[in-house]
A and B are shown apart, each in its own frame.
Chain A
Amino acid sequence: MSALRAVGLLVGKDLVLELRTREMLSAMGVFALLVTVVFTFAFSPAPGQAAAVAPGMLWVTLIFASLLGLSRTFALEREERCLEALRLFPFDPALIYVAKAASTLLVLLAVEALVVPALAVLGGVSPGRAAGPLAVVLVLGSAGLVASGTLFSAMSVHTRMREVLLPVLLLPVAAPVLLSAAGATAQLLAGRPLAAILPGLRILAAFDVVIAVVGSVVFEYVLEE
């Protein structure tokens, strides 16, 4: 079986399960909105300051929401040891990582499509012409979170401290994502063109690629017993 078909099979299964319950979509979406409200209460930015606070708020919110989703990605595989069953399939275990990251990324992007416009309204920010470049930043940042998060989620799900371990592992390693994505969002909202922040975005893209490649290579060592 080709790698693409294997990944398609696994992603399809994840999406069917998700669409049947919409567990992750609803949990992450509601949570993201709630965090925004809490942030606004905590910082209560003056109308003029909204643009200064909004980028950081957005990305902290998205990181927390994706932590919520990532902690669930392997939960449904855990109950009946389905992950073990996936490893019995005659294909490279790296494809399990790729598929899990892909399906989580799709769900995260769906959540963002619903939530980010609402956040902009609540935060009093109008992206205007920056909307296109912002979408690029969202995709690159989300990919970085999911690439590293899928690896750590597979690790933490097999430990006693799983709820605690995932953020402790993910947040320092994914620091480049938060720095780059929040930085880029701030620059774009301040009206700077995409070209001006391209070198910084390259660091983010490099993070995505490095982590995804290393993740695919080491994933079999995470799964094996």
Chain B
Amino acid sequence: MPPDSHRELARPARADWRAAAIAAGSALLLAGLYMALLYAPEERTMGAAQRIFYVHVPAAWVGFLAFAVVCAASVGYLGTRRRAWDLTAHASTEVGVVFTTLAIASGSVWGRYAWGTWWSWDPRLTTTFLLWFIYVASLMVRAYGGTGTQPSRFAAVLGIVGFLDIPLIYLSVLWWRSLHPLPVVVGAEGVGSGLHPAMLHALVVNVVAFTILYVILVSLRREQMVVADRLTARAGRSGVRAGAGEVAG
């Protein structure tokens, strides 16, 4: 392979805006870290442990944002059959699962200090956990879903059904489980209301930083997939027809 065809394969499509985003995102992440650890005042009842809040909330936000993007991209894919939509959905699912995992883990640590237990079946935690299962299943469908466009179509269907399911899951956990009052859940709601302005600043900076991080990760992952596609297509053209024969019958 001639040296410049490497460059052609890996040619970054929108390197300029991404380089800027990476710079801005890194600066914001550092600022967010500083604000979370030093700028925001210590919370009275929970102490330093409360600072996990500046990771937990942005991670949960990005998780939900990612799955909203998955749903929109899935509709786009089924409507247009453009591979671009499918790649966006796939990349966003992967990144969303990572951030949701982070949100659940940090939420669990939070719960340890707020409620004295690593896990409570609080409606939001439960919904997030089920969400995590749905999107992990979606990645499984992509991995084991068969040949051709089938994994993409199945994952798109799950991306739509799963997203519409979120409010239903949340409502049913909320309604059916609060019927027998749980011992320790109530405290969770109070956090947002009486927030110190400095806490709010730290939170906003972190949410923005995490969102930029999400956009960068999805864009990088998407580009990797585009390159992988080109390589597969190239392998197909240069005589490796086994894979094609299988799908085309």
Contacts and interface: CB of A to CB of B under 8 A. Distances in A.
Q: Interface residue tally of chain A, by bracket?
A: 20 to 34
Nearest to B156: A221
A172 interface: yes
B76 interface: no
B172 A222 contact: no
Nearest to A222: B157
B34 interface: no
A178 to B, nearest CB: 9
A225 B168 contact: no
Size category of the binding interface on chain B? 20 to 34
Interface of A is mostly: helix
Interface in B157-188: 157-158, 160-162, 164-165, 168-169, 171-173, 175-177, 179
Interface string B234-246: 0000000000000
Interface in B125-142: 130-131, 133-134, 137, 140-141
Contacts of A159: 141, 144-146, 150, 154
B158 A169 contact: yes
A195 interface: no
A187 B78 contact: no
A167 B3 CA distance: 49
B18 interface: no
Interface stretch (A4-12, A30-38, A104-112, A200-208): A200-208
B177 A179 contact: yes
Contacts of B140: 161, 165, 168
Interface of A: 148, 151, 155, 158-161, 165, 168-169, 171-173, 175-176, 179-180, 183, 187, 199-200, 203-204, 206-207, 210-211, 214-215, 218, 221-222, 224-225
27 contacts: A155-B141, A155-B158, A159-B145, A159-B150, A159-B154, A165-B137, A168-B137, A172-B130, A175-B173, A176-B165, A179-B176, A179-B177, A183-B176, A200-B179, A203-B171, A207-B165, A207-B172, A210-B165, A211-B165, A214-B160, A215-B161, A218-B157, A218-B161, A221-B153, A221-B156, A222-B157, A225-B149
